[in-house]
Structure 1
């Protein structure tokens, strides 16, 4: 009788405890939050620099996307906002944005775009590149870097 009572208590206890299995933890949660970000960019037209380096400060808000490996980046700088989705793999990610518009002088050019980044502790680092060739054959390349720290 005592054995069956102890066995029953162990069973009740085992089923009443919430499982802490690995699947219960969303790995994206460690990256979710607001990051204060410094932005720098430089543009080359052919082999010549166009304008001095761009610099700015803003915020990037990272939240979980719909898919298990997806993050949403809400970017906010003075006079510029954008939302970009990314695929997460471990602590690194690739933005899903593939096109951008490069503005050089009075011209605007459709460009191929790629960006990837990583989380290092409380730091967020993103490197981006937009590239196109104008109708006259001039190559335009803009490289950008976002460096941020989680609030």
Structure 2
């Protein structure tokens, strides 16, 4: 299999359970973040940038993109551990990049966990570089 074996499409409501399991398998879920609520929130804003990758009818990847008119953000890029190293994550990123370019987006930002060297290396192969910034956050709505 290679990146051409993945079909990329928008999220469907019937995908939720499989996607949450995929995120869990990829280590993306956190106790303080309810993935069902994250999905519900995404569906209210630019749901066309919530991409799902399928291979042979199985959900193997996801990506949530967003664009605020100034910058785009990438969240929940995930590929099933059993399907990694086949170009699927790159295919998902290229698909969202095309959509963002059509929207006139000048730059993409994303956050990765500081200890995740493999993911940092992956994004560098796609042309991303570390910005000299400090990321700050404030939760407005607790999920738990």
TM-score normalised by the chain length of structure 1? 0.28
Structure (1 or 2) with the larger CA radius of gyration: 1
Structure having greater relative contact order (Cα 8 Å, sep ≥ 6) = 2
Greater per-residue strand proportion:
1
TM-score normalised by the chain length of structure 2? 0.29
